[in-house]
A and B are shown apart, each in its own frame.
Chain A
Amino acid sequence: MNHTEIMGPGVQIVCFAASYLIALTLEITGLWTRTAWRRPLVIGITLAGLVAHTWYLGRRVGAAPTAPLASQYDWFLAAAWLVVVVTLILWFYIPRSPAGIFLLAVVLALIGVSKFASTTPLASFQAPRFWGMVHAVCLMLGTVVVICGFLAGIMYLWQSYRLKNKLPPGDRFRLPSLEWLERVNSRALGISTLLVGVGFITGVLGRLVHGGDQAFVPWTDPVVLSLAAMFGWLMVAEIFRLVYPAARQGRKVAYLTLAAFVFLLITLASVTLLDQVVHPGLGTATKGATGKEIGLPSHLAQKLAERPGRSS
């Protein structure tokens, strides 16, 4: 069975990636030329991409119920889907915001990274499905929130720089106000701490309770180490923010969210490139580790391991 049979004819990763790329290009060209039809066109193309994206993920779930968060590949695509939804919501509430440029770039980056991610089912799914899902969903939501906080932080510093230097507001590129960006930053920090914390703890507990002969937490593993460091940083930042009033305002919050993003990058790099222990079989799809080895039915494991451009 090839991936076209699973995903349905015509719906491939390139369909929605191309839509997002065109939308991003239109957003960027909007910095120089602005026409009445540009915004509806950008929204239309992004919506078309989102429909194709949803269809794609839906087919993945149809093929294997543990998707769309059962593998790194699915996890990245689901995170990208969520960022697209955030982009559309932002366009609705702040129509003139240039946030689409940043967010669509992140979407394309996530889709790009997914091409290098493993399609092998994650070990977390050996744990009961509910806790496995909580672990994966929380970490995915936490990732998206950290990304949003990072972008808000970047925009805050940029807007602050422009204001400090008395630069005029751009006609075509109008950043949100400092007050709004500061609020997004603060909330992103608090929410991401909660989500990453729940994701991390459920992962640890799942490992301890359902790990069988591997019922221990490999604290020296790069994935565990980086995720623990990220969670630790978020906790410290949040406590610092709550205790020290100056850290609740302005640039300090922006710096905290930027640092959180650096931890996120390290964690994602560890998961994508180095994870061999925590999620057995990760990164070993080509070596033969399959969903079957971690207890999934053979037909589901085979379907999960399939993706565009990779023969099954």
Chain B
Amino acid sequence: MKLNMVGCTHRATNLEVRQLLAFSDEQATRALHKWQQRQPDTEMVLVATCNRVELYASTTLQERDQGNGDENGGAEQGEFPNSLIQALLDFHQVPHERVAGQLISLSGQEVVDHLYHVTTSLDSMVIGEPQILSQIKEAYRRAQNCGSAGPMMHNLFQSALRTAKRVAGETSLHKHHVSIPSVAIADFASRVFERLDDKRVLVIGAGEMAEETLRYIRDTGASQIHVVNRNADRGKTLAARWSGSYHPWSELEAQLTTADLVISTTGATESIMTARRYHQRVAPHRHGRVLFILDLAVPRDFDPDMGNSLGVYLYSLDDLSAACKRHQEARQQELPAAEKIIRQETNRFVVNAHHRLTASVITGLRHGFEQPKKAELQRLFHKLPDLDEPTREEISRFADRLVNKILHPPMQSLREASQNGTPHGLLDAIKRLFQLQD
């Protein structure tokens, strides 16, 4: 299998080198066009995310031209992978010494196994994160648009996407949320509220975490967003960005009275709401209505004792972090099942690839027998013109059966041999024995 991957990942490469080799969308497109012009016989897909830059390539050149050509993996340092590394470095004009020992180079089955790990997010910094799948799809689509993806890359990436789908469907790896906002909404808010589109969301403070949480809440349909912030400018900006309304800090109690869901991320050094103040000023007006509070501030914005109040469900950053940790552990437990699927799919891909390589020999073999069969039948029917149609058909079928039976042993041997790699020796022998052309 003439398949290679070179590049850098967060596991093998430090951040400095990753930044040196990073590609923007526009750069990736330009690079693919450039490389395609230089190496028209090579199929390429460039996967560039914040954690990895990986160039997948397959060439139609003969393996003897590729240096060692170890098709079953191993850190191949042949001419072809070196040319790929050089292409990456040249594009960014990075000297080889800057990245020495930081790049990875894989070939053959290792490439398949690695891509499957990447696509299923098993190789991600946060295992199970969903973004990588869309990034892989985008990388493949870009290569298609640039004309640098051919049949081999098509098979490879389609099978990678199928593997990711299997892992998502057959394991619960992706069902466990691991980010604070997603856990807050999926694990807790969804158990309090049936729907969020009719709920009043109050954001206190304009912290980064508030915005990230708002993104999740917005995805669930929430539209009534109210922002209370000490700094009016920042508060108004945040409110405008999320089509919400801004309220001055003096309205905090009034807003708490009417809110259903609160996200608090202020930088206050003391609680902005004590349990006593809540019971005296807010609770009497809420009439026991449920209030869900995400206190994402450090130190806390809400007095922990407020969590004991009737109808108040108060979650701090620590509570949510603990839930995230549980989910990460749950994901770890799903890893063996995911790895099993990857092994199955890798084997399937490799066997299919080897079959495809032997296909030309099998076709040639069949073709080599078909020609003399047809010629001999023609000669026979010419000599025996009185044969009726059923007899002719029976003779034709006899000839077909004979050819099939003669071809069966070599084809069976080819199929069996290709289970463990491309049977170059056997293919050469068959080609020479039956004088097959390439």
Closest to B307 in A: A164
Stretch at the interface among B282-290, B368-376, B392-400: B282-290
Contacting residues of chain A (150-184) with chain B, CB-CB under 8 angstroms = 159, 162-164, 166, 168-169, 171, 175-180, 182-183
Instruction: Chain B residues near A164: list those with CB within 8 A.
Output: 307, 313
Main secondary structure of the interface of A (DSSP, over half): helix
Cross-chain contact A166 with B319 (CB below 8 angstroms): yes
Contact bitstring A250-265, B, C-beta under 8 A = 1, else 0: 1110000000000000
Q: Establish whether residues B323 and A179, one from each chain, have CB atoms under 8 Å apart when the complex forms.
A: no
A177 near B310 (CB under 8 angstroms)? no
Interface size class of A (residues with CB under 8 A): 20 to 34
Decide if A166 touches B315 in the complex (CB within 8 Å): yes
Contact B310 A169 (CB under 8 A): no
**Inside 8 A of B381's CB, which chain A residues have their CB?**
none
Task: Report A-chain residues with C-beta under 8 Å of the C-beta of B144.
Answer: none
Q: What are 12 A-to-B residue pairs whose CB atoms are below 8 Å?
A: A163-B188, A163-B191, A166-B322, A175-B191, A177-B192, A179-B193, A180-B194, A249-B287, A249-B288, A250-B290, A250-B311, A251-B310
**Residues of B close to A159: CB separation below 8 A:** 191
Minimal beta-carbon separation of A180 from chain B (angstroms): 5
Interface string of A174-204 (1 = CB under 8 A from B): 0111111011000000000000000000000
Residue pair B194, A168 in contact (C-beta under 8 Å):
no
Separation of A176 and B195 alpha carbons in the complex (Å): 12
| Cross-chain contact B289 with A249 (CB below 8 angstroms) | yes
Chain A stretch 233-250: residues in CB contact (< 8 A) with chain B: 245-250
In the complex the two chains form, what is the Cα distance from A260 to B149 in whole Å?
69
Number of interface residues of B (CB under 8 A): 23
B348 located at the interface, meaning its Cβ lies under 8 Å from any Cβ of chain A in the complex: no
Interface pair A168/B326, CB less than 8 Å apart: yes
A246 to B288, Cβ gap below 8 A?
yes
Question: B192 — nearest CB in chain A belongs to which residue?
Answer: A178
In the complex, residue of chain A having the shortest beta-carbon distance to the beta carbon of B172: A171
User: A179 contacts B313, CB within 8 Å?
Assistant: no
Residue of A nearest to B190 (CB): A177
Q: How far is the CA of A30 from the CA of B155 in the complex (A)?
A: 39
Q: Which residues of B contact A182 (CB under 8 A)?
A: 290
Q: Does B187 contact A (CB under 8 A)?
A: yes
Name the A residues within 8 Å of B319 (CB-CB).
166
The 10 closest A-B pairs by CB, nearest first: A245-B287, A246-B288, A249-B288, A179-B194, A246-B287, A177-B194, A180-B194, A166-B319, A250-B311, A250-B288
- Residues of chain A with a CB closer than 8 A to B192's CB: 163, 177-179
Nearest B residue to A247, CB-CB: B288
Contact B311 A177 (CB under 8 A): no
Assuming the A-B contacts A164-B307, A166-B319, A171-B172, are A252 and B288 also in contact, with contact meaning beta carbons closer than 8 angstroms in the complex? yes
Q: What's the nearest-Cβ distance from chain B to residue A70, in Å? A: 41
Chain A residues with Cβ below 8 Å from B191 are 159, 162-163, 169, 175, 177-178
Q: What CA separation (Å) do A252 and B289 show in the bound complex?
A: 11
Interface code B278-303, partner A: CB below 8 Å = 1, 0 otherwise?
00000000011110000000000000
> Which of chain B's residues has its CB closest to A178's CB?
B192
CB distance from B324 to the nearest CB of A (A): 11
Q: A169-B191, A178-B192 are in contact. List 15 more A-B contacts (CB 8 A).
A: A159-B191, A163-B313, A164-B307, A166-B323, A168-B187, A168-B326, A169-B187, A171-B175, A175-B191, A177-B190, A178-B290, A179-B194, A179-B290, A246-B287, A251-B288
Complex CA distance for A159 and B190, rounded to whole angstroms: 12
Bound form: Cα–Cα A164–B326 in Å = 18
Provide the bound-state CA to CA distance between A181 and B168, in Å.
Answer: 31
Residues in B with CB closer than 8 Å to A250 are: 288-290, 310-311
User: Which A residue's beta carbon lies closest to that of B311?
Assistant: A250
Report Cα–Cα, A178/B172, bound state, in Å.
25
Chain B hits for A249, CB < 8 A = 287-290, 311
Residues on A with C-beta less than 8 A from B289 are 249-250
Q: Of all chain A residues, which has the CB nearest B175?
A: A171
- List of A residues within 8 angstroms of B175 by Cβ: 171
Q: CB-nearest residue of chain B relative to A252?
A: B288
- CA–CA, A247 to B287, complex, Å? 8
Cα A293 to Cα B121 with chains together (Å)? 78
A241: shortest Cβ distance to chain B, in Å?
A: 12
Cα A168 to Cα B325 with chains together (Å): 11
B193, B195, B288, B322: which has the most chain A beta carbons within 10 Å?
B288
Chain B residue numbers with a CB within 8 Å of A245 are: 287-288
A245 to B191, CA, bound (A): 23
Which single residue of chain B is at the shortest CB-CB distance from A166?
Answer: B319
